[in-house]
C-alpha cells in the first residue's frame, strides 16, 4: 500500500533545517488535541474501575456505555436509537479506516468520495480499499460546502462528509445535510458524517446538527444508508479514552458488527466505565465550550477572524502557506500546519490551520506573537 506521508511528518521535514528564535518558548498550534486535563470525575471513574482489567471486554460494548451514548444522542439531537442502531468504537479513527474496507470489499470497482481538504485517514481507508477517490473540493468560493453533481454521485459507493469541518471550521445546515441523505437513498451509496467536532460550539441557539437529525427530516427515519460518527476526544478533553460510536442504519451495523468481532478493537472495561460517565454529563462540556469561545474572541480581537459556529480551528488565509509556516517558526518559534498538507489538487493552498487548544492566557500570548509576525509582513 502506498500511503501518503502524514501532515505532521511533512511539517517536520519542512522545518527540519530551520533554526527557530530561541527568545521565545515553542508554541505548537498544529494538532487538534485539547491541552486541558480530563475532568476529575472522569478520571475517578477510570480509577475506580481498574479492578475490571481482569475481564475481557465485549466487542459490541457494555450495555451501560451504549445506554450513555444513546442518551447523549437523544438529549443532544432529539433522536432515539435502539441498541441495534449504535456500536461503541475505539475512538473514530479506527472506524474511519476499517469501515470503508469492510463495506467496499465486495464492490467490483469501489468508489469513495470525501471532502477535500480532509482528515488523512479518509484517504488511507480509500487506498487500503483499493477504491477510486473522488474529492469533494471545499473552497472559499463555495463557502466550504460539499457539492457533487448527480452523475458523479451515481458512481459513489461511499461518501464521507465532515461537518463541523476540519480544517475549514465550516458547518452545514440540516436542510443541506438532508439533501445529501436523499441522494444517498436515491443513488444507493452509504453516507457517513464524521461529527467529532459537533460539541465544540458557541451558541446554544445555533448548534451543529447531526446527519441522524437530517435523515429524519429527509423522511428516512430508519437511517437507510446513513451513519453518524462521534467521539468524546474533543468534547470531554479525553482523547486517551478512545471512546466513539458509529450509529444509524441497523442493517449495515449488523454486518459490520460481525466484521468487528475479528478486528480485535474492543475497548478495555475501565475505559468503557469512564467513557459512560463522560457521555452522561453535559456540565463539563459547557466549561470547555466557554474556554474555546474565549480563545476565539481573543483571535477575533487580535487577528480579525470571525468566530465559527463550531470547532477550535482557524483556517487562516495567507499568501504562501509553506513560506509563512517556515518564517513564522524561524522568527516567532510558532508552529502551524500548512493547509496544502491537508488537501489534494491544490486544496488548502494559501491557508494555514491553527488549533486553539490551550488556555486563554496561553492563547493570547501566542496569538499576540502571531499578530506581530503578520503585521511585520505587511
Q: 164, exposed or middle or buried, with CB in 10 Å at 0-12, 13-18, 19+?
A: buried
The string of DSSP codes covering 54-97 is GSPPPTT--HHHHHHHHHHHHHHH-----GGGEEEEETTHHHHH
Residue pair 313/353 in contact by the 8 Å Cβ criterion: yes
Is residue 176 over pLDDT 90? yes
Whole-number percent of the chain with pLDDT over 70: 100
Residues 204-257: pLDDT tens digits? 999 999 999 999 999 999 999 999 999 999 999 999 999 999 999 999 999 999
CA 189 to CA 220: how far, in whole Å? Answer: 14
Residue 283, pLDDT score: 97
Confidence at 377, pLDDT banded by 50, 70, 90: confident
Residue pair 231/166 in contact by the 8 Å Cβ criterion: no
Residues 242-289: pLDDT tens digits? 999 999 999 999 999 999 999 988 999 999 999 999 999 999 999 999
Q: Is 314 helix (H, G, I), strand (E, B) or coil?
A: strand
Q: How far is CA 108 from the centre of its chain?
A: 29
CA 98 to CA 245: how far, in whole Å? Answer: 13
Residue pair 268/243 in contact by the 8 Å Cβ criterion: no
Is residue 19 over pLDDT 90? yes
Q: DSSP code of 116?
A: E
Angle in degrees, CA 84, 156, 139, rounded to 5 = 105
Q: DSSP code of 27?
A: E
Residue 1, pLDDT score: 78
Is residue 378 over pLDDT 80? no
Residue 2, pLDDT score: 86
CA 313 to CA 29: how far, in whole Å? Answer: 9
Q: In what order do the strands lie in the sheet with 243-248?
A: 86-90, 243-248, 226-231, 190-194, 158-161, 111-116, 132-137
- Which domains are seen in the chain, by residue range? 7-37+284-377 (3.90.1150.10), 51-280 (3.40.640.10)
Residues 88-134: pLDDT tens digits? 999 999 999 999 999 999 999 999 999 999 999 999 999 999 999 99
Query: In 3D, which of 87, 103, 100, 125 has the Cα closest to residue 266?
Result: 87
Residues in the chain: 378
Amino acid at each position: 500500500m502506498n500511503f501518503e506521508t502524514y501532515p505532521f511528518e511533512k511539517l517536520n521535514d519542512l522545518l527540519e533545517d530551520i533554526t527557530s528564535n530561541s527568545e521565545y518558548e515553542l508554541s505548537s498550534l498544529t494538532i487538534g488535541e485539547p491541552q486541558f486535563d480530563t475532568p476529575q470525575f472522569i478520571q475517578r471513574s477510570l480509577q475506580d474501575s481498574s479492578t475490571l482489567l481482569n475481564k475481557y471486554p465485549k466487542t459490541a460494548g457494555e450495555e451501560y456505555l451504549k445506554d450513555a451514548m444513546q442518551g447523549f444522542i437523544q438529549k443532544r439531537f432529539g433522536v432515539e436509537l435502539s441498541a441495534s442502531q449504535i456500536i461503541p468504537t475505539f475512538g473514530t479513527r479506527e472506524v474511519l479506516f476499517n469501515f470503508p474496507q469492510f463495506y467496499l470489499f465486495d464492490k467490483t470497482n469501489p468508489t469513495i468520495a470525501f471532502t477535500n481538504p480532509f482528515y488523512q485517514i479518509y484517504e488511507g481507508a480509500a487506498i487500503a480499499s483499493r477504491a477510486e477517490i473522488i474529492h469533494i473540493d471545499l473552497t472559499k468560493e463555495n463557502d466550504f460546502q460539499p457539492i457533487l453533481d448527480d452523475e458523479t454521485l451515481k458512481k459513489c459507493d461511499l461518501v464521507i462528509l465532515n461537518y463541523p469541518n476540519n480544517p475549514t471550521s465550516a458547518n452545514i445546515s440540516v436542510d443541506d445535510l438532508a439533501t445529501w441523505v436523499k441522494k444517498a437513498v436515491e443513488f444507493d451509496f452509504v453516507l457517513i458524517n464524521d461529527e467529532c467536532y459537533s460539541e465544540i460550539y458557541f451558541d446554544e441557539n445555533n448548534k451543529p446538527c447531526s446527519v441522524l437529525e437530517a435523515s429524519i427530516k429527509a423522511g428516512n427515519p430508519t437511517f437507510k444508508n446513513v451513519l453518524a460518527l462521534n467521539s468524546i476526544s474533543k468534547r470531554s478533553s479525553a482523547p486517551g479514552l478512545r471512546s466513539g460510536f458509529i450509529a444509524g442504519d441497523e442493517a449495515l451495523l449488523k454486518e459490520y458488527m460481525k466484521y468487528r468481532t475479528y478486528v480485535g478493537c474492543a475497548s478495555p472495561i475501565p475505559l468503557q466505565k469512564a467513557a459512560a460517565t463522560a457521555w452522561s454529563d453535559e456540565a463539563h462540556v459547557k466549561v470547555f465550550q466557554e474556554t474555546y469561545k474565549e480563545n476565539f474572541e481573543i483571535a477575533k480581537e487580535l487577528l480579525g477572524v470571525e468566530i465559527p459556529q463550531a470547532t477550535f480551528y482557524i483556517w487562516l488565509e495567507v499568501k504562501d502557506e509553506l513560506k509563512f509556516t517556515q518564517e513564522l517558526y524561524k522568527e516567532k518559534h510558532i508552529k502551524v500546519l500548512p493547509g496544502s498538507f491537508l488537501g489534494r489538487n491544490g486544496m488548502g493552498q494559501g491557508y494555514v490551520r491553527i488549533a486553539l487548544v490551550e488556555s486563554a492566557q496561553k492563547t493570547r500570548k501566542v496569538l499576540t506573537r502571531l499578530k506581530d509576525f503578520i503585521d511585520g509582513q505587511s
